[in-house]
């Protein structure tokens, strides 16, 4: 029987809030990933980078203030840095978990560039929250300095940047080769380093942060995955979220999910992009299931016992 191929998209809580917390968080995340690998699944791991890429940009901007000769660090460079340090922590944690179970498994992190359309309307309408949460006053101060901020799904204010749709994962063949060779592959971190292709075919970074759930959906469909598993801070998706008549959803067809989107049941910038990414994956081929659940519930969710499943 063919091995099941599973793309796992890790949300913020799988990584922790800072560099210290990340070390602890990835150790727990690694156990979940190795449990699935031990069940005989091919595992491809993606992760977010919103808080981390904001932190890197902030640190780099402070450096410019302190050292006048430094030039501003482009956002795609900060995305690449975030892929590197998150990827290596995940890789080492997974490797250590394999070792502690006496499994001689292979783990690789692939820095990945994801092509976007340079005319994507998202470049004129920044919506992707990055960095830490800000007070209203801090957000207003930023706005005065031309830094766009928005309220993030009822949780406070954050800086927002453009988030174009991912079109092409440039390292896809490398990822396929490594998965085929039995590696657990960590890739498309932070949605991938956003690039466009110039007239001579060179890849040029663009100022954006791609949504990791959208990139994960594209990756899962192009790898022919059986499951796209979006791990976040809730066990299931709800309708009437946060209201008295809140209702958890277990099983949704693409049509039902689209109907709930039309009713604006899912918060923009948090649950909505996850449901949209899940729909695109479910529609990309027969028998493809997208699952939204908690990190701890990944295995139970894949077994059909919990989470919200979206399928065609």
Ligand X SMILES: Nc1ncnc2c1ncn2[C@@H]1O[C@H](COP(=O)(O)OP(=O)(O)O)[C@@H](O)[C@H]1O
Ligand Y SMILES: NC(=O)OP(=O)(O)O
Would you count residue 12 as binding ligand X (CB under 6 A)?
A: yes
**Which residues share a beta bridge with 308?**
292
CB of 102 to ligand X, least distance (A): 32
Footprint on this chain of ligand Y (rule: CB under 6 A): 12, 48-50, 190-191, 209, 211-212
- Rounded to 5 degrees, φ, ψ at 188 are 50, 30
User: Residue 158, SS3?
Assistant: strand
Q: Is 128 a catalytic residue?
A: yes
Would you count residue 251 as binding ligand X (CB under 6 A)?
A: no
Neighbours of 24 (CB within 10 A): 11
Interacting partner of 191 out of ligand X, ligand Y, none (Cβ under 5 to 8 A depending on kind): ligand Y
Interacting partner of 126 out of ligand X, ligand Y, none (Cβ under 5 to 8 A depending on kind): none
Write the DSSP string, 210-256.
--HHHHHHHHHHHHT-SEEEEEES-SSEEESTTSTT-EEE-EEEHHH
Interacting partner of 271 out of ligand X, ligand Y, none (Cβ under 5 to 8 A depending on kind): ligand X
Asked if 254 contacts 311 with a C-beta cutoff of 8 angstroms, the reply is yes
Would you count residue 279 as binding ligand X (CB under 6 A)?
A: no
Distance (Å, whole) CA 114 – CA 171: 8
Distance (Å, whole) CA 228 – CA 225: 7
The owner of tokens 């971190």 is 189
The owner of tokens 């990139």 is 215
**Residue span 217-236 as binding mask against ligand X, x where in contact by CB under 6 A, dash where not:** ---------------xxx--
Between 86 and 271, CB nearer to ligand X: 271
Distance (Å, whole) CA 270 – CA 266: 8
Between 37 and 130, CB nearer to ligand X: 130
**Which residues share a beta bridge with 183?**
106
Q: Is 23 a catalytic residue?
A: no
Interacting partner of 221 out of ligand X, ligand Y, none (Cβ under 5 to 8 A depending on kind): none
Q: Which of 16, 87, 128, 189 is catalytic?
A: 128
Q: How many helices (H) and strands (E) does the chain have?
A: 9, 17
**Residue span 142-181 as binding mask against ligand X, x where in contact by CB under 6 A, dash where not:** -----------x----------------------------
Considering only residues 20 to 59 of the shown chain, the ones binding ligand X according to CB under 6 A are 48
Asked if 188 contacts 237 with a C-beta cutoff of 8 angstroms, the reply is no
Total of residues contacting ligand X (CB under 6 A)? 16
Interacting partner of 241 out of ligand X, ligand Y, none (Cβ under 5 to 8 A depending on kind): ligand X
Half-sphere exposure of 195 (CA within 13 A, CB side): 20
Q: Is 214 exposed, middle or buried (0-12, 13-18, 19+ CB in 10 A)?
A: buried
- Among 33-41, 118-126, 196-204, 266-274, which window interacts with ligand X (CB under 6 A)? 266-274
- Among 5-13, 28-36, 177-185, 217-225, which window interacts with ligand X (CB under 6 A)? 5-13
Q: Is 13 a catalytic residue?
A: yes
Interacting partner of 211 out of ligand X, ligand Y, none (Cβ under 5 to 8 A depending on kind): ligand Y
Which residues are near ligand X by CB under 6 A?
Answer: 11-13, 48, 153, 232-234, 237-238, 241, 265-267, 270-271
Catalytically active residues, by annotation: 12-13, 128, 212, 274
């Amino acid at each position: 029987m063919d091995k099941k191929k599973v793309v796992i998209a890790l949300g913020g809580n799988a990584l922790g809030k800072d560099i210290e917390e990340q070390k602890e968080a990835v150790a727990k995340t690694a156990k979940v990933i190795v449990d699935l690998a031990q069940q005989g699944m091919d595992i491809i791991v993606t992760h977010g980078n919103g808080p981390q890429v904001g932190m890197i940009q902030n640190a780099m901007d402070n450096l410019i203030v302190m050292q006048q000769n430094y030039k501003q660090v482009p956002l795609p460079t900060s995305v690449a840095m975030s892929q590197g340090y998150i990827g290596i922590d995940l890789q080492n944690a997974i490797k250590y978990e394999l070792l502690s179970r006496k499994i001689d498994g292979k783990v690789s992190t692939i820095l990945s560039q994801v092509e976007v359309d340079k005319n994507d309307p998202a470049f004129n309408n920044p919506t992707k929250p990055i960095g830490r949460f800000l007070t209203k006053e801090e957000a207003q101060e930023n706005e005065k300095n031309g830094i766009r901020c928005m309220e993030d799904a009822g949780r406070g204010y954050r800086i927002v940047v453009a988030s174009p749709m991912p079109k092409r994962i440039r390292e896809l063949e490398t990822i396929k080769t490594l998965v085929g060779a039995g590696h657990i592959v960590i890739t498309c971190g932070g949605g991938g380093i956003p690039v466009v292709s110039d007239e001579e075919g060179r890849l040029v970074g663009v100022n954006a942060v791609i949504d990791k759930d959208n990139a994960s959906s594209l990756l899962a469909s192009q790898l022919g995955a059986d499951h796209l598993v979006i791990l976040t801070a809730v066990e299931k998706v709800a309708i009437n979220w946060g209201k008295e008549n809140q209702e958890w959803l277990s099983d949704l067809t693409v049509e039902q999910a689209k109907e709930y989107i039309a009713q604006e049941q899912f918060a923009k910038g948090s649950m909505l992009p996850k449901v949209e990414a899940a729909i695109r994956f479910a529609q990309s081929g027969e028998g493809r299931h997208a699952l939204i659940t908690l990190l701890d519930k990944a295995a139970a969710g894949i077994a059909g016992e919990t989470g919200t499943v979206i399928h065609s």
